[in-house]
Amino acid sequence: MPAPRGAGVPALAFFVNLDIFEHLDILETPLPAFSVARFRPCAPLAGVFSSPQPLQGGIVRGAMNMTPVKEILASSGRPTLSLEFYPPRSALDFGILGAAIERMRPVAPDFVTCTYGAGGSARTFSFDALQLLVRLDFTPVVAHLTCVGATADELAAHVDQLYAAGIRNIMALRGDPPREEGAFRPVPGGFAHAIELVRLVKDRHPDICCGVAGYPEVHPEATSPEDDLRHLKEKVDAGADFVNTQMFLDTDAFLRFRDRAVAAGILAPIIPGLMPIVSYKQAMRCVQFSNSVIPAPLAVALQAATTPEEAADAGIRWIVDQIATLVHEGAPGIHLYILNQAKALLNPRLAAAIAAWHA
């Protein structure tokens, strides 16, 4: 039963009529013919995509690939490739994301992830984005979920609904406080830490594969690196199946963190998170929110760039080097924070670096 139409994302017009892209100078290459065919079947599902409520509509099941990430990690025989998406905030952006996914398709990620309420975005959009990924067969998908603004009962209902919709991978996060609040405060009856969400997910649905966040350069609120690592171990001991790290630019920081984690008895796979940097300004923004550093050679290269292309090229060279080192060091996978953009991912140098190990 489609949910009533209302205040949600009125994205349908853009899904069913990709001709709009012919009139907007937003695509660098023409859409392949098959992508239009893939979008058109969404037409009868208008109510689902414009739902004002998260989780009211059903995700199309059947052929949907929802293999648990832990199985993919265990069986791939090579590092996995995963891509992180965030929910678009407007109908047009949903359409642009759909087109970007079509362009990324040849890269064939092993799984994709979708954030939830990150950076203060509306949490309802997350389910719309999940549906877009599923409908475009960009799966398996990992649904992020946070404890922000929800009681334990509400979180339980949300987890059950994701499960009923066929989702078998959840990234269990505490979430960041809304900017105006400063420190994180759980709502009455809510959770203070991600570990409680891990326990809830595993108690209700032991077959859900659960990921948790790890911080190579230490979470900003941690009382010490040792405490932060101890809390990570507690999350894994509570049932988390894999760790996905915060983005980092300093590869050595990750390798030290990985070694410390293993020494502390954290045996779950730790997937490094990388972002293709396109400018010094963007790098500064990233390191501020992630509490990380810009290694000096990258900072110099970004600052020396005289054009946006030169800066993006420096960023690509850096991430290519990071990937080569991490794969050589036995990373179980590479997770790319691509910010919904196909451009960096399709850069020939990055594509070649991925193709070197990701057949």
Distances (CA, A) of 288 to 259, 263, 284: 25, 28, 6
Tokens, residue 348: 């020939």
Cα–Cα dist 44/154, whole Å = 30
| 146 lies in the binding site for ligand FAD (CB under 6 A) | yes
| 216 lies in the binding site for ligand FAD (CB under 6 A) | no
To ligand FAD, the closest distance from the beta carbon of 125 in angstroms equals 12
Among the residue ranges 62-70, 71-79, 110-118, 151-159, the one whose residues contact ligand FAD (CB under 6 A):
110-118
Q: Contact at 8 Å (CB) between 170 and 141?
A: no
Interface map 228-247 toward ligand FAD (x if CB under 6 A): x--x---x--------xxx-
- Return the residue of 112, 155, 195, 261 that touches ligand FAD, per CB under 6 A: 195
Cα–Cα dist 226/48, whole Å = 45
To ligand FAD, the closest distance from the beta carbon of 192 in angstroms equals 7
**Residue among 117 and 269 whose Cβ is closer to ligand FAD:** 117
Among the residue ranges 10-18, 98-106, 222-230, 301-309, the one whose residues contact ligand FAD (CB under 6 A):
222-230
Type of residue numbered 44? P
Cα–Cα dist 123/349, whole Å = 35
Tokens, residue 113: 């992830």
**Residue among 146 and 347 whose Cβ is closer to ligand FAD:** 146
Tokens, residue 38: 């893939």
**Cβ-proximal residues to 148 (8 Å cutoff; 6+ apart), any chain:** 117, 123, 174, 175, 176, 177, 178, 184
**Residue among 45 and 200 whose Cβ is closer to ligand FAD:** 200
- # residues near ligand FAD by CB under 6 A: 26
The residues assigned a catalytic role are 84
| 222 lies in the binding site for ligand FAD (CB under 6 A) | yes
To ligand FAD, the closest distance from the beta carbon of 29 in angstroms equals 30
Distances (CA, A) of 272 to 24, 79, 261, 333: 36, 11, 13, 7
Among the residue ranges 35-43, 63-71, 112-120, 253-261, the one whose residues contact ligand FAD (CB under 6 A):
112-120
- Return the residue of 9, 213, 323, 353 that touches ligand FAD, per CB under 6 A: 213
| 123 lies in the binding site for ligand FAD (CB under 6 A) | no
| 340 lies in the binding site for ligand FAD (CB under 6 A) | no
Distances (CA, A) of 132 to 48, 119, 271: 11, 20, 25
| 219 lies in the binding site for ligand FAD (CB under 6 A) | yes
Write out the E strands in 239-321.
242-247, 270-274
To ligand FAD, the closest distance from the beta carbon of 213 in angstroms equals 3
Phi-psi region of 83 (alpha: psi -120 to 50; beta: other; left: phi over 0): beta
DSSP state of 164: H
- Return the residue of 95, 140, 273, 295 that touches ligand FAD, per CB under 6 A: 273
Interface map 153-192 toward ligand FAD (x if CB under 6 A): ------------------x-xxxx----------------
To ligand FAD, the closest distance from the beta carbon of 226 in angstroms equals 10
- Return the residue of 68, 88, 95, 117 that touches ligand FAD, per CB under 6 A: 117
To ligand FAD, the closest distance from the beta carbon of 58 in angstroms equals 22
To ligand FAD, the closest distance from the beta carbon of 218 in angstroms equals 8
Q: CA 141, 142, 146, 152 torsion: positive or negative?
A: positive
Phi-psi region of 120 (alpha: psi -120 to 50; beta: other; left: phi over 0): left
- Return the residue of 194, 236, 249, 261 that touches ligand FAD, per CB under 6 A: 194
Virtual torsion, Cα 216, 222, 224, 226, nearest 10 deg: -60
**Coil vs helix vs strand at 333:** strand
To ligand FAD, the closest distance from the beta carbon of 171 in angstroms equals 6
Cα–Cα dist 206/203, whole Å = 6
Tally of CA atoms within 13 A in the half-sphere of 228 that contains its CB? 16
Residues that bind ligand FAD (CB under 6 A): 115-118, 144, 146, 171, 173-176, 193-195, 213, 219, 221-222, 227-228, 231, 235, 244-246, 273
